[in-house]
Amino acid sequence: MAISRQDVLDWITAVAAVLDENKDYLTQLDSAIGDADHGMNMSRGFRAVLGKLPTIGDKDIGTIFKTVGMTLVSTVGGAAGPLYGTFFMQAGAASAGKQELAATDWSTALEAAINGVMMRGKAVLGDKTMIDSLTPALEALKAAIAEQQPWPRPWNDRPRPPNRVCWRRFRWSRVRAAPAIWGRSAGHQDPGATSSYLILKTAAQTWADC
């Protein structure tokens, strides 16, 4: 497996389309527990990213990821901007100077991205956040590498994000959460975990032949 610079650009382009197609769905999920803007925010952020791609198409993969991250920080509102920005910037730091990624390189970059989100959001696995969607993907990737299996397959076979995850956990990690917010979040599929799922599933689909 080798993910080229063009493969990365194709993935980012595909993510923008997928998030735009699902913006109403993500907003519907967010309306139950948040500000009803997650879908629009993510779609707007990745439209801005698309505008940057022509200027970085000849750069290394690390620079591409970092540019995506910085663009999301500056264009996506709420908790999503800092979290997804951190995700891509940390992936970029782990991919600095690379023109292509082997499976192990992508695993390293993804792990760095997830660790960055955990530090930024002050959350760990089991806190019912987007980490509970991202971490199983990393574990599936590592298992596929260890077993020398095509890594996209387990991602494509993964179920949709579980219910009872709470995107709002990141916003309230340092203060006492408002009871009304926690009450609304119970039993609802989390919009942030869902957008994370869509982003990684799109990677698996885009890179299926790598």
The answer to whether the beta carbons of residues 178 and 26 sit under 8 Å apart is: no
**Tens digits of residue pLDDT in 15-73:** 999 999 999 999 888 776 567 788 899 999 999 999 999 999 999 999 999 999 999 99
- Residue spans per domain, the chain: 2-206
Determine whether 54 is exposed, middle or buried from the number of CB atoms within 10 Å of its CB (0-12, 13-18, 19+). Answer: exposed
**Tens digits of residue pLDDT in 106-153:** 999 999 999 999 998 777 776 667 888 888 889 888 988 888 877 666
The answer to whether the beta carbons of residues 91 and 112 sit under 8 Å apart is: yes
- Helix (H), strand (E) at residue 3: strand 2-4
Conformational region of residue 101, where left means phi above 0, alpha means psi within -120 to 50, and beta covers everything else:
beta
**Whole-number Å distance between alpha carbons of 145 and 165:** 28
Distance separating the N- and C-terminal Cα atoms of the chain = 5
Looking at the DSSP bridge assignments, the partners of residue 100 are 4
Residues 67-73: contacts with CB within 8 Å, 24+ apart? 67/92, 68/12, 68/92, 71/45, 72/45, 72/46, 72/48
Least confident of 74-78, 154-158, 173-177: 173-177
In CATH, the architecture of 2-206 is Alpha Horseshoe (1.25)
Query: 31: Cβ–Cβ under 8 A, 6 or more apart, which residues?
Result: none
Q: The pTM is what? A: 0.84
Which of 207, 30, 6 has the alpha carbon at shortest distance from 110?
207
